[in-house]
Structure 1
């Protein structure tokens, strides 16, 4: 019988846990660390007291972990003992003064130090051009494990090109307690939820705006901020400026299908799922997605997700799938997410990665003189 893993003391220095304003890191950390704490581990999250988050803290007192703000590197040193005594210390991507923070952690931690990259393709592009905003090449070999939002060949690049002793995929996940199917009247045939991005806009044009032009009898919606005022939206495309995270499940429930569009750097790297994929599937809404390498490792095309390159792929799904087919594809994707991509599953993976790194860092046991070989 396998023994239960011992509780770990974990310190995380991340971009933000307290505020989800303008960043996707907070929701990632919240789901993951809540589930990790449920497994019996002790978690301390240290966050730089950034003024742009101060007025937008929607979780100022997390109930699942200890939480503290620090104003600068000097104040971070007040937590030296906790960092030194922890079994593992994680430094996240985009942490302010991340190189100095990482160096301090590596010099101080007696346990495993790890880097959690929620922005892996961006990070690697920065490293190639010598950008050291939050990670420096010389730090990577000294992080016992490099946890990456991107899997696939990128993990080999991190090990062979940048010297990581252990690069492991730790994808985003979804809190399946918060994101669940709801019964709701269908307001839209195809929805899209996402902030405007210039590199995503041509794909949105092909997979939603052009289908809307060709099918004026169907209803579409694009929800998210920062879209330029000069975009010519068809009359059957509704615009919503912002949907708060708490309202995401009801937004998906009102959609017959929802669209996933991936950032260009994530497409180039492959194996970089967006949290929107998992959130929509957890809500029981079938997904139409752009194509990229590694997507078929997450969902079975045609059975759990619909893939599209242009309007000629999208419209047959919206007009041709029976209600029974739509519901069956959604059911299969929901089962897949609950099995493989829930926050609880990701917390198990984090636990395994950290325990593996702890074991690898442990000094070899000395054999007693005279002991049998």
Structure 2
């Protein structure tokens, strides 16, 4: 299969989770014998922070603007499948072009499904609009559960399927490094995550000055009152993630408010940490128990007391259980096989409808 992907970023992991998601998925997809071209909008923010420029498992190319995308019309038309990702700049117009040019299966890959649906509900069509959804043969969603039926019923998608994030087991696994922190958190700042971070990490740090904590990620405001036992790391690049998790007795997963409301929206950090056999403490949302068994491979916490109780537990057995679960169901090889199956199903179902549209 020849696959073309137009995504937010493959080249830079700075301040986004899209790059690591695409890297794991597309590397595994190429390993299954497929050809991949990734087209990325060349924007200054990512251009100055690139940590992948020449992958050996796909072609990576840049376009400057919408007229610049026209140069790739032939590649898009000749592909067996074309995927447009969420948060692509001028994504609605990019989608229109893809749907007009593509001869193969077209899909929208929503790495931000609850955020996207909330934006659509308030008339914010930054990168997706209701009018283009029905013309995609397939809607791939980071969120599973009831949200998939909602996308089909409310927005006319002919086929909505889950495609969760995953982890590249070639890059993520336990590392032989000294333990540095009792609890870590890796994530970019967001307003809606900060109250949970305060409740589940900063408050435990205030209560237990003898323990060591760390928060790694960019864009945190200068006014946050960090306890003295909370280390700050401005950016932890993907190449350092495995060592970061392996240096943590436990790590914290914090979920955005829209994703908590939707449920069935795992963060890539769950799978990355689990692959490193690092036990996870997480906030609660519907569907999390289908991914990692609570009490066995993950601890669900409502407040500081739950976190401090978890930190008194033996971490090793829980870490092994998390690693086993990731190996069984959530590696990038699993997701690549799922993507292949979803595209094949959409191709079988969508060819007649596409001919009617054209």
TM-score (norm 2): 0.95
How many angstroms does 1:363 deviate by?
4.6
Alignment partner, residue 60 of structure 1:
53
Alignment partner, residue 123 of structure 2:
130
In 1, the alpha carbon distance for the partners of 2:80 and 2:135 equals 16
CA 1:57–1:188 in 2, change beyond 3 Å: closer, same or farther?
Answer: closer
Classify the secondary structure of the residue corresponding to 2:132. Answer: helix
Contact kept in structure 1, 2:15 and 2:217, CA below 8 Å: no
Contact kept in structure 1, 2:16 and 2:188, CA below 8 Å: no
Classify the secondary structure of the residue corresponding to 1:146. Answer: strand
2:349 to 360, 365, 370: 360
Please tell me whether Structure 1 or Structure 2 has the larger radius of gyration of its CA atoms. Answer: 1
1:221 to 214, 220, 228: 214
Classify the secondary structure of the residue corresponding to 1:138. Answer: coil
CA RMSD of aligned residues (A): 1.5
In 1, the alpha carbon distance for the partners of 2:39 and 2:171 equals 25
What per-residue deviation string (whole Å, max 9, x for no partner) do you get for residues 146-195 of structure 1? 00111111101100000000001111111111111012221211111122
In 1, the alpha carbon distance for the partners of 2:141 and 2:45 equals 26
What per-residue deviation string (whole Å, max 9, x for no partner) do you get for residues 317-339 of structure 1? 112x23xxx21111111011112
In 2, the alpha carbon distance for the partners of 1:50 and 1:221 equals 31
Alignment partner, residue 180 of structure 1:
173
Alignment partner, residue 193 of structure 1:
186
What per-residue deviation string (whole Å, max 9, x for no partner) do you get for residues 118-164 of structure 1? 11111111111222221111111110000011111110110000000
How many angstroms does 1:226 deviate by?
2.7
Contact kept in structure 1, 2:118 and 2:258, CA below 8 Å: no
Which stretches in structure 1 are left out of the alignment for 5+ residues? 1-7, 365-373
In 1, the alpha carbon distance for the partners of 2:160 and 2:231 equals 42
Alignment partner, residue 334 of structure 2:
345
More displaced stretch, 211-220 vs 300-309: 211-220
Matches within 5 A, 1:120-159: 120-159=113-152
Which stretches in structure 2 are left out of the alignment for 5+ residues? 354-358
CA 1:287–1:222 in 2, change beyond 3 Å: closer, same or farther?
Answer: same
2:275 to 271, 277, 282: 282
Q: Which runs of 4+ in 1 moved over 4 A?
A: none
In 2, the alpha carbon distance for the partners of 1:113 and 1:314 equals 44
Classify the secondary structure of the residue corresponding to 2:106. Answer: strand
More displaced stretch, 227-236 vs 11-20: 227-236
Alignment partner, residue 34 of structure 2:
41
